[in-house]
Amino acid sequence: MGALLEEAYFVCTDFDRNNNKFWKIQLYDDGVVKTTWGRVGISQQEGSWSFGPKAKAQYNKKIADKLKVKKGRDAYTRVDIISETQPNNPRPLSSSSELADIAAREIDTDCETTKELIKWLSSVNIHQILSNTTMTYNANQGVFKTPLGVVSKSTIDKSRILLNDIATYVQAKDYGAPLKKLATEYLRLIPQNLGGPQQKIKLDRIFTQDTLKKQADILDALDASLATVLTSPPADSITEVEPVRIFNLKLHTVNDDEQIKEVHKLFEDTKQSIHTSSTYKFVKLYSVDIPSMRESWEQNGAKLDNHMRLWHGTKPSNVLSIPKQGLMVPPRTASYVCGRMFGDGLYFSNQSTKSLNYACGYWGGGDQGNRIFMFLADVGMGKYFIPSSSISKMPDGYDSVWAQSKKSGVYNDEMIVPYPDRCNLVYLVEFTK
């Protein structure tokens, strides 16, 4: 068989017909057209034909046929897959170290303790995603894939919008035709193993309050993997290309007794006995410096009034992602798992165990194990708004929201800033049960 010239991927997910089929077609320079088909992540068959000079026309004809509605099946949808073999792909997949090796190499650490932490966080991140999804992980490439491969950035972005719309219907427990249409489109863009043909594809099983967060995790993992793919140098490059860093931060173990006492005291003074996490023990303190986040903070958030040092809890599998890219306002889909009472933004608290409860999985996500982490950040509140109840959006003229205990319908204070440049991560604190 000759060299591959073109290839295309297609999916047909259909709840009514219990279909979850894929079809791939490839065109080679020796006139051969090859097709592969089956049920996504379950089965696969192959066929090939030698068309000679007419190969390109036959290739296009077969694709056109799949895009038509036919008796007994719906039209297929083309999926934008980043090919591993296509020669005209400007950034093909290439061999690289797995995530743990990349993190260990690129993160500025100061001792074996911090290096061990990086390795452990990498493994937790990978395990958490794989245990919650039907994706696969290639350790040699450090890449997560759908059953058909890595999808494009535009596909991921479109899927986030769809998942947000899906979440609206799931929250309302409306599993009618509109949700089915959205779910069909989403599953055609993000192909997933939904079981064999004998297993009925059920809308209310695939999309629930719990699985929405898992789907958001899939998109986050694919986004990270896509970044790895696109920053890999071309396989046939003959010029030396400076690699693009995935991690650009310092994570050092703090050994200064005064710093440790100060943070430990802040935790003890602001914890609440009513919280499950109040029995967790302070273990170790790490300093965090993310240049891009710090510079953004210095240009914007630091110039606001009312600076506060606040807590931000997150599950262990997210800890490595946060230093990689800084804090980001999460996709709206995440709100249907953990709640977002006071609109979009980054949520902090001046009460340590309020945030630590998020880290240990008290509000969704399940038990996160014995190693739990929480960030301590500088936050520029500026002119803050104190709501009397939940709100969907911060009013104009304010820089932040301060939901106060006994005033805003909450038991514990929550501080919400709308943009990442209003805060800067200073410490990562480790706890244990």
Task: Read off the amino acid at residue 365.
Answer: G
pLDDT at 338: 45
CATH topology of domain 4-82: q64v53_bacfr protein fold (2.20.140)
Instruction: Flag the least confident range among 134-138, 245-249, 255-259.
Output: 134-138
> Residue 130's pLDDT band (boundaries 50, 70, 90)?
low
The answer to whether residues 302 and 131 touch, using CB atoms and an 8 Å cutoff, is no
pLDDT above 70 for 93: no
Residue 173 DSSP SS3: coil
Torsion angle, CA of 348/353/356/361, rounded to 10 degrees? -120
At 226, list the tokens: 């896509």
Return the exposure string of 349-375: e unless at least 16 CB atoms fall within 10 Å of the residue's CB, then b. bbbbbbbbbbbbbbeebeebeebbbbb
Q: In this structure, what are the phi and psi dihedrals at residue 189, rounded to the nearest 5 degrees?
A: -85, -35
Q: What is the pTM of this model?
A: 0.65
At 36, list the tokens: 């592969």
CA distance 101 to 107: 10
Of 379, 389, 361, 390, the C-alpha closest to 418 is: 379
At 260, list the tokens: 């440790």
pLDDT in tens, 184-240: 999 999 998 898 888 899 999 999 877 887 787 778 767 766 655 544 444 443 334
Q: Is the pLDDT higher at 353 or at 325?
A: 353
Instruction: Flag the least confident range among 260-274, 303-317, 338-352.
Output: 338-352
CA distance 431 to 433: 7
pLDDT at 94: 32
- Whether 4-82 shares its CATH topology with 250-432 is answered no
Q: Where are the domains of the chain?
A: 4-82, 250-432
Q: In this structure, what are the phi and psi dihedrals at residue 247, rounded to the nearest 5 degrees?
A: -115, 130
DSSP characters over 334-391: GHHHH--TT-SSEEEBSSHHHHHHHHTTTTTT----S-EEEEEEEEE--SEE--SS--
pLDDT at 64: 96
Tally the residues of the chain: 433
The answer to whether residues 36 and 24 touch, using CB atoms and an 8 Å cutoff, is yes
Strand partners, 79: 9
Provide the CATH number for the domain formed by 250-432 in this structure: 3.90.228.10
Strand partners, 45: 37
pLDDT above 80 for 419: yes
Q: Is the pLDDT higher at 87 or at 66?
A: 66
Task: Read off the amino acid at residue 316.
Answer: P
The Cβ-side half-sphere exposure at 192, using a 13 Å CA radius, reads 21
Q: Give the contacts of 244 (CB within 8 A, at least 6 positions apart).
A: 231
CA distance 254 to 260: 7
Residue 317 DSSP SS3: helix
Mean pLDDT over all residues of the chain? 82
Q: What is the average per-residue pLDDT within 306-316? A: 91
CA distance 320 to 166: 28
pLDDT above 50 for 283: yes
The DSSP symbol for 51 reads -
pLDDT above 90 for 342: no
At 251, list the tokens: 């994570």
